[in-house]
Amino acid sequence: MKRANETTKHQKRWAVPKSSLCAVALALGGSAFMASASAAASCHPDGQPISGEVIFFSSGGSYGNAIQEHYFEPFEKECGVKVVHSTGSRNFSQLQQFVDAGNMPWDIGATISDQEYPLGVREGIFHKLPDGFWDDIASEMVEGSTSEYGAWASPYSDVLVYSTAGGAPAMATWADFWDTERFPGPRMLQNGPMSLVIALLADGVEPDKIYPLDVDRAFAKLDEIRPEIRAFWTSADQPVQGVATGEFVAGSTWNGRAVTAMKSDKPVAISWDGALLHSSWTFILKGAKNARNAEALLYYMQRAERQAALANAIGYSGGNKNVAEMVDKAVLDILPTAPDHVAQASVIDGAWWADNIADVQKRWDAWVVKQ
């Protein structure tokens, strides 16, 4: 498997000349200072040293533990900046209140919905990154996985999960999900308007042509399958459990829940064709007290070797394409961001949903109760 030098691989063309660092080191009389300064200088894209701390907010849990081990602890060792990991729950209005009051309890965190990132950009509550921030690693990143306000955190996908019990034939596409003659039996869909995207994919719309979403066409397609949808799930575990026990022949679910069942030898399988790729974003709050350190941490989190370590730990990664060369095939096969999976996916357009979610949700709520 490919290995990368974690200290020098991402050192920038703007780095402070070594001669300057040496002069400072000699003036202070310590080679140890020079070593630490060189490490710190390689951690921020502008090449200037960093020090102090940065506060990262997450929801905690297994994901929080994984980023602590595979992102924060190596960053502290290599860059000399302490990462304070704060955990808990929050909502979007709290972010607005923090920025409006100029009192940020933390510096950097991740979005919690598809709509939150575009809303944060629109409302001006995210820190804008310096010009050219991503230039040196742009070729490594999945298209659209970085922006002037952040980068993908840990994308996940809605996938088709189906039964393999008794040698049942494989479902390859959402069109198969709609084919009740070849694949008879009850189905399950999410109780939410993301199911409209699935309907359009089943109706032959190409994954990259979904937006702007044709709501009327989507509901017409959903009408076709409605008699076979025996339940609408609110927890992604429900369709996996239902398919595994034979209560349903297929459903939509989150990739991680299905993979967990597959690892436990449950009679289920998934298809990545037409997966709905949700891209959570890591962002820095506008006015963050430790903005430069947060920039350095954000940049560090895009390193392929760090994302590969995260992928090996929990089956999720970021947007660096080189991760594919650094993980075993068994891990690559379950990554939403694996090149083959991204190529088949419909990436959720958070901006479209931010503009339309209220109206579409009302229409969905009315449709889902129809018999």
What CATH architecture is 156-278+344-368? 3-Layer(aba) Sandwich (3.40)
Is there a cis peptide before residue 45, judged by omega within 30 degrees of 0?
no
Q: Specify the pTM.
A: 0.85
**Which tokens in the block code for residue 300?**
């560090």
pLDDT value at position 292? 98
- pLDDT, residue 80, reads 97
Spans of all domains in the chain: 18-154+280-335, 156-278+344-368
Asked, colleague to colleague, whether 18-154+280-335 and 156-278+344-368 share their fold, the answer is yes
Q: Report the pLDDT value the prediction gives residue 279, as an integer from 0 to 100.
A: 87
Question: Residues 6 or more apart from 5 whose CB is under 8 A from it?
Answer: none
Which pLDDT belongs to residue 304?
98
Distance between CA 318 and CA 311 in Å, rounded? 9
Task: Provide the pLDDT for residue 370.
Answer: 84
The distance in angstroms from the start CA to the end CA of the chain is 54
pLDDT of residue 39: 54
Choose which CATH entry (3.40.190.10, 3.30.2130.10, 3.30.420.280, 3.20.20.150) describes domain 18-154+280-335.
Answer: 3.40.190.10
All residues at 6 or more sequence positions from 261 whose CB lies less than 8 Å from its CB, including other chains: 240, 241, 244, 268
Determine the pLDDT at residue 42.
76
Looking only at the bridges linking them, the beta strands covering 281-284 and 250-254 are unpaired
Name the stretches of the chain with pLDDT < 50.
1-37
